[in-house]
């Protein structure tokens, strides 16, 4: 009976350690992804040409042109940005999956605003 209790105790401790390890790995990945996204977004400053953005990030996964879609999917609620822009969404593949959203001016194709968004 004592041996069974010891075995169960060791198994419980191992399961708890595995859960704690899994949580630590998830948090580490989340923090690393956040830093990477922050660095990428910081390089996309207002006034940057859209061709420079596509060189850096590749082709957008989604493009939003209607004001309603831009309001729903985007991160900016500034009317001057939302009404005069096209919103491009790029996926960041490192876990967790996040979006890099880039607002560009409709006429000049220059960046107005860039941000990130969790799914």
Whole-number pLDDT of residue 100: 94
* Greatest C-alpha distance within the chain: 79
Give the predicted TM-score (pTM) of the model. Answer: 0.78
| Separation of alpha carbons 49 and 58, rounded Å | 14
CA distances from 23 to 1, 20, 27, 36, 85 (A): 33, 5, 6, 20, 40
pLDDT for 55-72, tens place per residue? 999 999 999 999 999 999
Of 107, 97, 75, whose CA–CA distance to 88 is shortest?
75
Whole-number pLDDT of residue 22: 95
| Separation of alpha carbons 97 and 116, rounded Å | 11
Residues of the chain with pLDDT under 70: none
């Amino acid at each position: 009976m004592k041996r069974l209790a010891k075995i169960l105790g060791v198994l419980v401790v191992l399961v708890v350690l595995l859960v704690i390890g899994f949580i630590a790995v998830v948090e580490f990945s989340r923090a690393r992804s956040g830093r990477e996204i922050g660095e990428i977004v910081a390089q996309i400053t207002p006034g940057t040409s859209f061709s420079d953005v596509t060189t850096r990030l590749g082709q957008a996964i989604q493009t939003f042109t209607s004001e309603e879609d831009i309001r729903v999917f985007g991160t900016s609620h500034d009317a001057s940005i939302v009404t005069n822009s096209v919103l491009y969404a790029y996926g960041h593949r490192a876990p967790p999956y996040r979006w890099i959203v880039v607002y560009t001016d409709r006429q000049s194709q220059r960046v107005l605003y860039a941000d990130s968004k969790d799914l």
